[in-house]
C-alpha cells in the first residue's frame, strides 16, 4: 500500500540514524547496509511482504563443502561502518517465506535495527516476540483472576503491522485460556493479513463488526483491552474511525495493554493526552516514549538480539531469565 511506503520513508528520514529509542547512540552512524550479502529466498519475491526491497541472491548459501569443521566469523563488522546511501539500505526481511507479522512499518526504534532483524532473524523473531507479549500479559493478568466474561479480552487491531501483531497475540491468548474478541476494521489486502485473520478465525475468535462506543459496555464485557492499533511508525493524523476508538479507550477503566508503543503516541515524545495503558510490552528494546510510560507493568519481549549486535549498538538490555521470552522492566510506577 502506498500509504505505508510513504510512512516508512518518512520515518526513515525523520529519525536520526543511531537513535536507540531509550538509549541514544552518540555517534549518529549512518544506516549500514548489513544485508547486502545476504542471500534471498525465491519465495521472498512474491510480494507477500509489501514494501520491502530485495537484494540479489548471493552465493553465500551455496553449500558448505565437506572438509574441516569451521566456525563462522563474528557478525560482520566491516559492513557496519560504511557510509551508505540511505535509499539503498531498505533491508527488510530476507529470510523467510513467512506469513508472519512483518513489522516492516513498525521500525523497532530505528531503521538499523530493522535491517539487523531483516538480515539474520526474519519473521520468526516476531512470532516469538508476539508470544512474548501474550506471555507478559498472562503474567500480569492471570486469566483465573479476571472477572469479566470468563477472561474476555478485547483486541483492537489497527490497519498496519501493529494490527498484525494484535492478531498473533490474540491467537496465543486464546491458547492460554483467555477469550479474545477482535476488532479489526481495516485489514490490508495482502496474503499475510488474510492468513493471520484466518488463523484467528480457526481459533474461533469472533470479530466485532463495529466498535462499542459505550464505555460501560466495554467495561462490563471485557477484563482487558489489548491495544494493537498503531506502533512505532505511526504518523498523525489518525483517521476518524480510529480516532473514535482511541477516544473511547481513553475513557474506559479496563486495563489497557499496549503492543510496543501506546497507540497514537509520538514514538519519541509520547502523548500526555493520549492512551494511558497499564501494561506496555516493548519489542526488542524500549522506545524513547516508554520513558513517559506511567502504567504499572513494563515488559520487554523479542528475545533475539544477538550479543554482537547488542554490544555494537550499545543496547543495554537486561538478561532474560532462564528460558523466558519476556523480562519485566522496572517502571518505578507501581
Footprint of other proteins on 208-267 (CB under 8 A): none
- Name the one range near other proteins by CB under 8 A: 120-128, 234-242, 244-252, 270-278: 120-128
**Could you say which residues in the range 67-96 bind other proteins, by CB under 8 A?**
67-72, 74-75, 94-96
HSE-up of 190 (CA within 13 Å, CB side)? Answer: 23
269 binds other proteins (CB under 8 A): no
Interface mask toward other proteins for 25-64; x: CB under 8 A: -------------xx-xxx----------------xx--x
Nearer to other proteins by Cβ, of 215 and 292: the residue is: 292
| DSSP calls for 131-146 | HHHHHHHHHHS-GGG-
Nearer to other proteins by Cβ, of 121 and 248: the residue is: 121
Interface mask toward other proteins for 177-206; x: CB under 8 A: -----------------xxx-xx--xxx--
| DSSP calls for 213-263 | --HHHHHHH-SEEEEES--TT--SPPPHHHHHHHHHHHH--S-EEEESS-T
Cell digits of residue 173: 491468548
Cell digits of residue 119: 538480515
**Could you say which residues in the range 130-149 bind other proteins, by CB under 8 A?**
131, 134-135, 138-140, 142, 144-145
Give the nearest distance from C-beta 137 to other proteins in angstroms.
9
Measure Cα distances from 113 to 35, 168, 171, 244, 253 in Å.
12, 22, 26, 32, 35
With beta carbons less than 8 A apart as the criterion, state whether 301 and 132 touch: yes
Instruction: Please give the annotated binding residues for Na(+), written as ranges.
Output: 132, 135, 139
Amino acid at each position: 500500500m502506498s500509504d505505508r511506503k510513504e510512512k516508512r520513508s518518512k520515518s526513515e528520514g525523520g529519525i536520526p540514524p543511531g537513535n536507540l529509542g531509550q538509549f541514544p547512540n552518540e555517534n549518529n552512524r549512518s544506516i549500514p547496509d548489513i544485508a547486502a550479502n545476504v542471500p534471498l529466498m525465491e519465495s521472498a519475491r512474491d510480494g507477500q511482504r509489501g514494501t520491502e526491497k530485495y537484494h540479489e541472491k548471493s552465493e553465500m548459501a551455496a553449500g558448505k563443502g565437506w572438509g574441516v569443521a569451521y566456525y563462522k566469523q563474528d557478525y560482520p563488522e566491516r559492513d557496519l561502518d560504511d557510509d551508505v546511501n540511505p535509499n539503498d539500505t531498505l533491508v527488510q526481511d530476507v529470510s523467510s517465506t513467512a506469513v508472519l507479522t512483518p513489522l516492516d512499518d513498525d521500525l523497532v526504534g530505528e531503521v538499523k535495527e530493522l535491517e539487523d532483524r531483516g538480515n539474520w532473524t526474519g519473521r520468526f523473531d516476531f512470532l516469538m516476540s508476539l508470544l512474548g507479549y501474550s506471555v507478559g500479559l498472562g503474567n500480569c493478568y492471570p486469566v483465573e483472576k479476571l472477572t469479566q466474561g470468563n477472561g474476555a479480552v478485547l483486541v483492537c487491531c489497527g490497519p498496519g503491522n501493529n494490527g498484525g501483531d494484535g492478531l498473533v497475540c490474540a491467537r496465543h491468548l486464546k491458547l492460554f485460556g483467555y477469550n479474545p474478541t477482535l476488532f479489526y476494521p481495516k485489514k490490508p489486502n495482502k496474503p499475510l493479513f488474510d492468513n493471520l485473520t484466518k488463523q484467528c478465525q480457526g481459533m474461533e475468535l469472533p470479530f466485532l463488526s463495529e466498535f462499542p462506543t459505550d464505555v460501560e459496555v466495554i467495561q462490563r464485557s471485557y477484563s482487558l483491552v489489548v491495544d494493537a492499533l498503531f506502533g512505532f511508525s505511526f504518523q498523525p493524523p489518525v483517521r476518524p474511525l480510529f480516532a473514535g476508538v482511541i477516544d473511547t479507550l481513553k475513557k474506559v477503566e479496563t486495563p489497557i495493554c499496549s503492543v510496543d508503543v501506546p497507540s497514537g503516541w509520538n514514538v519519541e515524545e509520547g502523548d500526555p493526552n493520549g492512551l494511558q495503558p497499564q501494561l506496555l510490552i516493548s519489542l526488542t528494546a524500549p522506545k524513547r516514549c516508554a520513558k513517559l510510560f506511567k502504567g504499572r507493568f513494563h515488559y520487554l519481549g523479542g528475545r533475539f538480539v544477538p550479543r554482537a549486535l547488542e554490544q555494537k549498538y550499545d543496547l543495554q538490555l537486561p538478561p532474560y531469565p532462564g528460558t523466558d521470552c519476556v523480562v519485566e522492566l522496572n517502571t518505578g510506577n507501581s
